[in-house]
Structure 1
Amino acid sequence: MQDYKNSQINRKLKEAITTFLNSVNSLCPKVTRAELNYLESGLTVTELKSKHFYIQANTIQKEIGFVFSGLLRAFYVDKDCNEISVNFIREDRYATHYSALITQTPCKYYFQCIEPSIIVSLPYKHIQDGYNKFPNLERYGRLVAEEVLKMQQIRIESFLFANAEERYLDFIKENPNLINRVSISYLSSYLGIDRRSLTRIRKKIAYHSF
């Protein structure tokens, strides 16, 4: 029985690594087998339970995490000790405070698992060495940075140009599989909407959808 469990675990870990490498190839199709092998040589896979932290605030990140399965929440604690959600990291997304990672300065956010999660981690030093050795990996890093910047810009503009209901509807549109996986408390702080107001918005939309 123990051997069977171990084989299941090993199969899941291999699947996680394969999924990560496929995501690299999808984002940067010119990447070579040698470059993928280099990335794979530095990978580790971590299984975390719900409520466990992948990154602690005020620490320097030594690796970037690719979420194979599960869901994490990035948040900070304000001066009144409220947890303010800033991101939800689902499958096939990266768990990192990117600007802090590339500057190797302390992360401003906590990254905590909402669900049990399997995360593929790639060390920062291994990434930087790869950029120097392989042109396509440098291009891959730039493409990841562009994706992060695009998502940050969308979030900033949502607060500038969208009202509360529009922000909620945009969230549903962009993350249809998250709406039943994220608590209303987490979601209200992420969207910058009072919990009671968000509840009214959800009831209104549910009513009009019938």
Structure 2
Amino acid sequence: MELTDTINQVVNLTKDEKLSIEKYFTVKTLPKGGLWIKEGQYCNHIAFIKKGICRIFYNDQDGNEISCFFMPENNFISSYTSFLTLTPTKENIEAVEDLEMLVINREDLEKLSKEVPKVQIWRRVIAENLFILLERRISMLQSKTAQERYENLIKENGDILLKVPLQYTASFLGVTPQHLSRLRKNSVK
């Protein structure tokens, strides 16, 4: 699935609108392990992941990396709080695999929104979906056991688990790698 096909799922785009959208995005590649956005930077871009998986993480006060989200291809990614508030980001966005992204900066997104007004609806839907994603993440961490979190992750994103290192999965679930090993053994039974 491509960029305009994904946007077209939210707003019905004409052929001309699709062409207008595509001209504002540029291709960016990032090798596995590379950081697209680093804590303390200002995020001025939104990217569509064409190929690969990103990990969004932050460092806690002890310097431990805490994985917040994994974002596979055909999704949009940004440090949205930084993007929206023009403040330094507290998170990092890393390539778990080699990445190919289509990127648009804030200024071009504003121009595109004027040129193709339907883009405003798409932007609102992205913000709404992000809110839902965050709410589900908080609820999962607060109301489910580690075993339930692991089983839910397998059910909803089992394909990502095969591509993401175990220590990232463990930090996403809020457990140690050793505890994750026990959870994996328990789910096999």
| TM-score, scaled to structure 1 | 0.85
8 Å contact 1:35–1:137 — kept in the other structure? no
| Alpha carbons 2:34, 2:95 under 8 Å: kept | yes
Give the 4+ runs in structure 1 shifted more than 6 A: none
Q: Using the alignment, how far apart are the partners of 1:106 and 1:39 within structure 2?
A: 27
Letter in 2 for 1:34: D
Q: Does 1:21 align with 2:15?
A: no
Secondary structure of the 2:160 match is coil
Q: Find 1:111's aligned residue among 93, 97, 104.
A: 93
- Distance in 2 between residues matched to 1:133 and 1:43, nearest whole Å: 14
Q: What is the 5 A alignment of 1:1-210? A: 19-28=2-11, 30-206=12-188, 208=189
SS in 1 for 2:3: helix
For each residue in 1:152-187, what CA deviation from the matched residue of structure 2 results, as whole angstroms up to 9, or x when unmatched? 111010012111111111111111211111111111
User: Contact 2:49 / 2:100 at 8 angstroms: preserved in 1?
Assistant: yes
Provide the C-alpha distance between the structure 2 equivalents of 1:129 and 1:108, rounded to a whole number of angstroms. Answer: 27
| Distance (whole Å) between structure 1 residues aligned to residue 13 and residue 107 of structure 2 | 19
Q: CA RMSD in A?
A: 1.5
For residues 101-159 of structure 1, give each alpha carbon's deviation from its aligned partner in whole angstroms, at most 9, with x where no partner exists. 12222111111111111011011111123333433111011111111111111101001
Give SS of 1:75's match: strand
CA distance in structure 2 between the aligned counterparts of 1:33 and 1:104, rounded to whole angstroms? 33
Residue 139 of structure 2 aligns to a residue whose secondary structure is helix
Q: Is the 8 A contact 1:67 1:95 kept in 2?
A: yes
Structure 2 residue runs of 5 or longer lacking an equivalent are none
Once the two structures are superposed, residues 81-114 of structure 1 have per-residue CA deviations (whole angstroms, 9 ceiling, x without a partner) of 1111111111111221212212222111111111
Q: Distance in 2 between matches of 1:166 and 1:36?
A: 41
Deviation at 1:44, TM superposition (A): 0.5
Question: Which of structures 1 and 2 has the bigger CA Rg?
Answer: 1
Change (3 A) 1:105 1:34: farther
Which amino acid is 2:97 matched to? E
User: Which residues of structure 1 form unaligned runs of 5+?
Assistant: 1-17
- Counting aligned pairs with the same residue, the percent is 27
Contact 1:68 1:118 in 2 (8 A): yes
What residue identity is the alignment partner of 1:134? V
The separation in 1 between residues aligned to 2:182 and 2:39, in whole angstroms, is 33
Aligned residue pairs: how many?
A: 189
Query: TM-score, normalised to structure 2's length?
Result: 0.93
